Structure 1
Amino acid sequence: MNSTIETILKHRSIRQFEDRPLTDEQISLLVKAAQAASTSSNIQAYSIIGVKNPAAKEKLAELAGGQSYVAHNGHFFVFCADLYRHQKIGEMENMDVTESLESTEKFMVALIDAALAAQNTAVAAESMGLGICYIGGLRNNLPEVAKVLKTPERVIPLFGMAIGYPDQNPDVKPRLPFEHLYFEEQYDTDPAEYEKQLNEYNETVSSYYKERTGGERSDTWTGQMAQMLSHPQRMYMKEFVEKNGLNKQ
C-alpha cells in the first residue's frame, strides 16, 4: 500500500477547524489538482467558486442549515455544474448548441465532471494534512445560494467543501461491505444474501455509534436510510434546474 491509498482510506469528515486560513498557494494547488481530474471529452463542464468573505460564508452556513463549519474553516469551495461557458462557445463559433446544453446527457456530464474534480481536491487536501467536509446542505435553498454566488444561467451550485486544518480527530466511519458493492460480470440480486450483508453492516454501524457516543446511540444504517428517504427533500430541484437551462430534454 502506498501513501496515496493510505490517505484515501483514512478519510473522515472534519467539522471543526483551526482558525487558520489557507494560503493563496495552497488554494491554487488544490484547484490545479481539481483540474487534473478526468473530464468527459475534455468538456470541463464545471467551475469552482472560492468564498473568503466572512459575511458570505455566514450566509451560506445559514442556507446550508446552520452548519457552523461552512463559515469557520480555512477556505470554502463551491463546486458547480457549468455549461454557461459552452453557451458562450456556441456564440463564439456561430453554432447552435442549445439542444445539447439542455439535454439530460450533458447535465449528467456536468455533474460527473464536478464530482470528479471535487474528489481530486479532497484527496489533494488530505494529502497536505488538511481536513475536508462536503456540504450538500447548500441544495436546501439553491435560489438564495445562487444569489450569494451570482451564478448565471446554465450554472448550478452542487455542493460545497469546507477545507482547513483539523481541530478534531474523529474515527473513520465504516463503509458497506466490499462484497455488497463490488460485483463481477453482473449485478448480484440474490435477496437473502443482500439482506444478510445489510444486517451485518447494521451491526458494524451500530457498534461504531455505541463506541463513539458511550452507548447513547446505536443507530443502524438501514434505519437511518429508511428514515431519511421516507421524508422527501429538496423537491424543488427539477424545476430549479430546468429554469436554469439544464436537463430540459
Structure 2
Amino acid sequence: MNETINTILNHRSIRAFKDEPLTDEQISLIVQSAQAAATSSYLQVYSIIGVKDPAKKKKLAELAGDQEYVEKNGHFFVFCADLHRHKLAVEMEGLSEKDIEETVESTEKFMVGTIDATLAAQNAVLAAESMGLGICYIGGLRNRLDEVVKVLNTPDRVIPLFGLCVGVPDQDPGKKQRLPMENVYHVDEYQHDDELFKKQLASYNEDISAYYRERTQGKRTHTWTEIIAGKMTKPVRMYMKEFLKSVKIPLK
C-alpha cells in the first residue's frame, strides 16, 4: 500500500484543533491542490473563500448550528458553486448575461458547479491530511444560506455549498467503519438482491453499534439503520429551492 492510499484509508473527521493558524504556504498548497482536481469541460465552476476574520468565523459557526470548531481551527474554507465568473467571461467576448441565462440557470450547470466544487474540496482534504493536518466538512452552512451569503458577500450565481475546517488535530477520534463494499460496489449493473443488502446492513449495524458503545462508554449504541431512519424522516433545509431562485439559479 502506498502513502497516498494509506492517507485516504486513515481519514477521520476532526472536531477539535490546536490554536495554530495555517501558514500562508500551507493555505497556498491546499488551494493549488484543490485547483488541480478534474473539472467538467474545463469550466472550473467553483470558488473557494478562505475565512480568517475571527468575527466572520464566529458568525459562521453560529449559522452552522453553533459548531464551535467552525470558529476554532487553523483555517476555514468555504467551497462555492460559482457561475458569476462565467458571466464576466462572456461579457469579455461581447455577449450579455441574457445570452447565457438559459445555460447558467439550468439544473445541469448547477450540478456541474456542485460536482466541481466537491472534487476540488476532496483534493484539498487529501493535501491537508498528507501534511498531517485534520479536517471536518461543514454542511451546516446550508442551514441559513441567506445569512451566510451576507457574511461572505457573494454575488448572484454564487452558492456557498459547504465549509471545510482545517488545522492541527487536538484529538484522535476512532475511525468509523464504512458500509460493506458489497453494499456499495456493483458489477456491470445495479444488483437488486434486497434481502442480501439487508443482511449486510444487519452485520454493519453490529459494527457501528460497537463503535458508538466503545466511544461513549456505553451511553450510545445506535445502529446505522437507526440513524438513517431518524434522519430520513425529518426533512431539513426545505427552503433551498426558493433560495436558489433568489440568487438566480432557478434550476430550469
TM bucket normalised to smaller:
over 0.9
In 1, distance between residues paired with 2:199 and 2:110? 36
**Per-residue deviation at 1:247?**
4.3
- Partner of residue 5, structure 2: 5
Name the counterpart of 2:30: 30
Q: How does 1:166-177 map to 2 (within 5 A)?
A: 166-177=169-180
For residue 151 of structure 2, what is the aligned residue in structure 1?
148
Specify the code of the residue in structure 1 equivalent to 2:74: G
CA distance in 2, matches of 1:80, 1:205: 32
Structure 1 contact 107–247 (Cα < 8 Å) conserved? no
Alpha-carbon distance between aligned partners in 1 of 2:224 and 2:137, rounded to the nearest angstrom: 20
1:168-247 matched pairs, under 5 angstroms:
168-247=171-250
**Mapping 1:42-57, distance limit 5 Å:** 42-57=42-57
- The residue aligned with 2:93 is 93
> Contact 1:134–1:162 at 8 Å: present in 2 too?
yes
Structure 1: how far apart are the matches of 2:10 and 2:201?
23
Aligned-residue offset at 1:92: 1.5
Task: State the SS of the aligned residue for 1:152.
Answer: coil
- How many residues align structurally? 249
Offset, 1:94: 2.2
1:117 alignment partner, SS class: helix
Match of 2:160 among 157, 160, 168: 157
Alignment of 1:112 with 2:87, yes or no, is no
Contact 1:46/1:81 (<8 A) preserved: yes
Write out the 4+ residue segments of structure 1 that deviate beyond 3 Å after TM superposition: none
* Rounded Cα–Cα distance in structure 2 between residues aligned with 1:196 and 1:117: 36
Q: For residues 229 and 167 of structure 1, what CA distance do their matches in structure 2 show?
A: 32
CA distance in 2, matches of 1:234, 1:65: 13
Q: How does the TM-score come out when normalised to structure 2? A: 0.97
Report the residue type matching 1:112 in the other structure. I
**Matches of 2:251 and 2:92, distance apart in 1:** 23
Which whole-Å CA distance do the structure 2 matches of 1:119 and 1:234 have between them?
Answer: 24
* CA-CA distance at 1:248 after TM superposition: 2.6
**CA contact under 8 A between 2:19 and 2:74: conserved in structure 1?**
yes
Cα displacement string for residues 193-228 of structure 1 (whole angstroms, at most 9, x for unaligned residues):
111111111111001111111111110111101101
RMSD: 0.7
Q: Give, as a single letter, the amino acid of the residue that structure 2 aligns with 1:6.
A: N
- Structure 2 counterpart SS, 1:97: helix
Amino acid at match of 1:65: G
Q: Which letter maps to 1:213? A: T
In structure 2, what is the equivalent of residue 72 of structure 1? 72
Instruction: Quote the Cα distance in structure 2 between the aligned partners of 1:63 and 1:193.
Output: 41
Question: What TM-score, normalized by structure 1, do the two folds share?
Answer: 0.99
Q: Distance in 2 between matches of 1:206 and 1:131?
A: 25
What's the offset of the Cα at 1:150?
Answer: 0.2
Tell me the amino acid that sits aligned with residue 53 of structure 2: N
Contact 1:87 1:98 in 2 (8 A): no
Aligned to 2:21: 21
Gapped regions of structure 2 (runs ≥ 5): none
